[in-house]
Amino acid sequence: MKSGLWRAVLAAISLAMSAQAASTNFHFVQLTDLHWGTEEHLARTRWAVDSIRRLPPELKPDFVVVTGDMMADNILDEPAAVEGLRLLRSLNVPVHYLPGNHDILRHDLLRTRAAYTNLFGPRYHRAEHAGVTLLFVDAEPPRKNDGGGGTEAIEWLSNTLTQAQSQSVIVFQHAPAVLDFYDGRLRKHWSPKTIAAWTNLLQRPNVQAVITGHFHRDELHWLGRVPLYVSGPLAGYWGRQGSYRIYEYRDGRLSYRTVYLE
Ligand SMILES: [Fe+2]
Ligand SMILES: [Fe+2]
């Protein structure tokens, strides 16, 4: 082949490679509000795990996030957690947990917090996937306005966002920082002052989304310029049909599909 043609072929290959490098695309699964402790809820987790395992190659998740309420005020009853943990571990992808209000209990804080760490890991942690920073936050203390704990969470979030510099960030937490609407009225489950402080922290151009559960309903809100995704539960309280979500991250944009327990 003539050298001019070779150069053209090599230039085309390098262009294609750099376009590929610039594109970040991956899938992950969100499970939320599993509320282990009954046979029915464990069966729902078993169904979700089987369903995730059977996903087609194009939708295979690189990791799973469980956005809290794995338990139902029963974290000290360890066997209730063991089978659920074993099922999720069998997916053979990283599983990230964070605490919900039915995992760590305010009235028995020290014991349930220790049990949480022992079973599920740290209350705050950071991971990185394909150049995207993933933050898993225990947002219950600021939501409940627990003096020291609230400050700790806000400081952790602020520091880790600074450490991420310009890297894209997705924040995962249990309860969304917006008013809660049910039974015909809006309820303040966060203080307006804390909602404003939390929202303010997230207004950095590299924060792409906040992903939560807790409401046992599907909702979408905006925290300033940041989309807030609220997923429905896997658990069956209030007659809910269990579901989980498959998110697709593509160059800073998040879409999702919902898979329902039939
Ligand atoms: Fe829940
Ligand atoms: Fe909750």
Q: What is the per-residue pLDDT for 192?
A: 84
For residue range 143-197, what is the model confidence (pLDDT) as tens digits? 887 656 678 888 999 999 999 999 999 999 999 999 999 999 999 888 888 888 8
* Total-model pTM: 0.91
As given in the structure block, the two tokens for residue 90 are 């069998």
Give the Å distance between the CA of 146 and the centre of ligand 2: 16
Does 17 fall in a domain?
A: no
Sign of the torsion formed by the C-alpha atoms of 54, 58, 59 and 61: positive
Q: What is the per-residue pLDDT for 125?
A: 96
**Which residue shows structure tokens 């402080």?**
197
Q: What are the two backbone dihedrals, phi and then psi, of residue 186, each rounded to the nearest 5 degrees?
A: -80, 135
Does 176 fall in a domain?
A: yes
- Count up the domains in the chain and report the number: 1
- Looking only at the bridges linking them, the beta strands covering 226-230 and 219-223 are antiparallel
What sections of the chain are H helices per DSSP?
Answer: 3-22, 39-53, 79-89, 109-120, 140-143, 147-163, 192-201
Does 3 fall in a domain?
A: no
Give the Å distance between the CA of 169 and the centre of ligand 2: 23
For residue range 110-140, what is the model confidence (pLDDT) as tens digits? 999 999 999 999 999 999 999 999 999 999 8
Rounded to an integer, what distance in angstroms lies between the CA atom of residue 113 and that of residue 105? 8
Provide the mean pLDDT of the chain.
91
Rounded to an integer, what distance in angstroms lies between the CA atom of residue 68 and that of residue 211? 11
For residue range 69-78, what is the model confidence (pLDDT) as tens digits? 999 999 998 8
- Looking only at the bridges linking them, the beta strands covering 125-129 and 95-97 are unpaired
Does 18 fall in a domain?
A: no
Indicate the pLDDT class of residue 20, thresholds 50, 70 and 90. very low
Does 15 fall in a domain?
A: no
More confident position, 244 or 19: 244
Q: What is the per-residue pLDDT for 90?
A: 97
Write out the residue range of the structural domain in which residue 196 sits: 25-260
Does 191 fall in a domain?
A: yes
Give the Å distance between the CA of 131 and the centre of ligand 2: 30
3-state helix/strand/coil string of 192-226:
HHHHHHHHHHCCCCCEEEEEECCCCCCEEEEECCE
Q: Is residue 75 a contact partner of residue 103, using CB atoms and an 8 Å limit?
A: yes
Give the Å distance between the CA of 233 and the centre of ligand 1: 7
Percent of the chain's residues with pLDDT above 70 = 90
Give the Å distance between the CA of 216 and the centre of ligand 2: 8
As given in the structure block, the two tokens for residue 97 are 């947990």
Domain harbouring 37, CATH code: 3.60.21.10
Give the Å distance between the CA of 15 and the centre of ligand 2: 48
Q: What is the per-residue pLDDT for 152?
A: 86
Q: What is the per-residue pLDDT for 159?
A: 95
Give the Å distance between the CA of 102 and the centre of ligand 2: 6
Taking ligand 2, which is a single-atom ion, which protein residues have CB atoms under 5 Å away? 69, 100-101, 214
Does 125 fall in a domain?
A: yes
Mean predicted confidence (pLDDT) in 57-71: 98
Q: What is the per-residue pLDDT for 147?
A: 58
Does 241 fall in a domain?
A: yes
Give the Å distance between the CA of 215 and the centre of ligand 2: 7
Q: What are the two backbone dihedrals, phi and then psi, of residue 27, each rounded to the nearest 5 degrees?
A: -120, 150
Nearest to 137 by CA among 235, 64, 195, 210: 210
Bridge partners (DSSP) listed for residue 253: 250
